[in-house]
Amino acid sequence: MFKNDFPYFSNSDIVYLDNAATTQKPKEVITSQVEYYEKYCANTHRSSFGDANKATLNYENARKTLQKFINAPTKEQIIFTKGVTESINFIASSYAKKFDKVIISSLEHHSNIVPWHMQGRTLGEGLEVVSCNDNLDFDFVEYEDILKQNPNSFVSITHISNAFGKIHDIKAIIKLAHKYKSVVMIDGAQSLAHMNIDVQDLDVDFFAISAHKTFGPTGVGAIYVKESLLKELEPYQTGGATIHEVDFLSSTMLDSPYKFEAGTQNIAGVIGFAKALEYLEKVGYEAIMKQEHELYEYLTDQLSKLPNIIFYNDTEDSIGSKSFNFKNIIHDDIGILLDKMKIALRVGHHCAQPIMKQLNIKGTIRVSIAFYNTKEDIDKLITALKKALDMLR
Ligand SMILES: Cc1ncc(COP(=O)(O)O)c(C=O)c1O
């Protein structure tokens, strides 16, 4: 019973099925942050007294934990950020802006669309969009065509759709991009909660990570950078702790990762994130994937029995999230009624309006599971959905 490891579940009688929005946190993630604030609260990389050294050590050990977790060659390739949103904005403005073309897919989160608009890129004008069909399959033929016409591009693609749970074959996407001398960033916001990531095996250039979607604290994330690209990467903000030497004529920067982490970081959050990764390691992805696979099948099976349900993608190649609607029922109404029945899920466009427009819908009802969810949670969801449907028909 994994729920016992998560204090939220002993304090709440809510059926929590909104894990794509944020995950619950295991006890050690919470206590490690409280311990930092209560016992050795000090800034990192600055002062040299005992508590400051301990804070720096734990912060840097967290970097090593993440490095090992995703099999990055060195810890200097791990740069902490506020989350995937900041990771993408960072790489967009400090590296990708020099590319003539940025290639995304039609299944992206707004975090991987709006930063490109901010650079003045729009469809066909610096921005190319690879179609995903109405089953959300990535169009590899169109992708290769775009790459052939635009070699030396910057490709930025989500791994797992937060809106539908669809998994993109990122290994194939990365391989094809490299064939056409392009550089690839993967939005891994939804990845680590569900599956093992090996950045060397993927041969990915940039991989964006979110702690709060991976059982860690909010306001923390990271970007993995391939070693050969570190030299080309400019800081997109500067300030304290990034600088080697400053006078009024010039300043010289420290090496990576320090030159990219300007200002006081979310020290407690980073330390807590490492605890989340250690916890995940203890549970193991084998157990996580087995539990989630069974749950996802059960969820799909039970939902399929409900009248007039509309699904948008097949269960194969999907993980975590399941999105649906009911014919002639407004998804917002379901959300309001389910909330009253203590079922927590998200209804709406899930920060993915372009794909909703393509499917000609305003949004969906999204159930997003984590390995701590149970069949009992799904049963409660189905009972509540039946009640809500009876009320609305
Ligand atoms: C696919 C995807 N990309 C990016 C983000 C933004 O992540 P963060 O909250 O870490 O900034 C999210 C969050 O919902 C997401 O699901």
**Measured in angstroms, how far is the CA atom of residue 356 from the centroid of ligand 1?**
17
Range of the domain at 355: 284-392
**191: Cβ below 6 Å to ligand 1?**
no
Ligand 1 atom closest to Cα of residue 158: 1
Catalytic residue positions, numbered: 351
CATH of the domain at 366: 3.90.1150.10
The single residue listed with the structure tokens 């930063």 is 115
**87: Cβ below 6 Å to ligand 1?**
no
C-alpha distances out from residue 272 to 64, 123, 185, 289, 298, Å: 13, 40, 25, 23, 32
**Measured in angstroms, how far is the CA atom of residue 325 from the centroid of ligand 1?**
23
Query: End of a domain among 239, 266, 282?
Result: 282
In the predicted structure, residue 4 carries a pLDDT above the cut 90 = yes
Same domain, 202 and 175: yes
In the predicted structure, residue 387 carries a pLDDT above the cut 90 = yes
Tell me if residue 250 falls in helix, strand or coil. coil
| Mutational test site, ligand 1, from 111, 114, 170, max ligand atoms within 8 Å of CB | 111
Between CA 174 and CA 188, with CA 294 as vertex, the angle to 5 degrees is: 25
Which residue puts its alpha carbon closest to atom 11 of ligand 1?
Answer: 85
**Measured in angstroms, how far is the CA atom of residue 267 from the centroid of ligand 1?**
21
d(CA 138, CA 317): 11
Residue 315 is predicted with a pLDDT of 78
Residue 309 is predicted with a pLDDT of 97
Residue 16 is predicted with a pLDDT of 98
Same domain, 221 and 308: no
Taking only the tens place, the pLDDT of each residue in 283-335 is: 999 999 999 999 999 999 999 999 999 999 887 899 999 999 999 999 999 99
Confidence band of 241 (pLDDT split at 50, 70, 90): confident
Assigned domain for 235 exists? yes
Residues in contact with 310: Cβ distance below 8 Å, sequence separation at least 6, in sequence order: 324, 325, 326, 327
**Measured in angstroms, how far is the CA atom of residue 306 from the centroid of ligand 1?**
30
Question: What is the total residue count of the chain?
Answer: 393
Residue of 317, 112, 63, 350 whose CA lies nearest to 211: 63
Averaged pLDDT, 73-97: 98
CATH of the domain at 127: 3.40.640.10
Secondary structure letter of residue 376 according to DSSP: H
Compare 163 and 393 and report the one with higher pLDDT.
163
**Measured in angstroms, how far is the CA atom of residue 258 from the centroid of ligand 1?**
24
Residue 134 is predicted with a pLDDT of 85
**217: Cβ below 6 Å to ligand 1?**
no
In the predicted structure, residue 393 carries a pLDDT above the cut 90 = no
Taking only the tens place, the pLDDT of each residue in 30-62 is: 999 999 999 999 999 999 999 999 999 999 999
In the predicted structure, residue 240 carries a pLDDT above the cut 90 = no
d(CA 74, CA 87): 18
| Mutational test site, ligand 1, from 110, 185, 187, max ligand atoms within 8 Å of CB | 187
Same domain, 143 and 65: yes
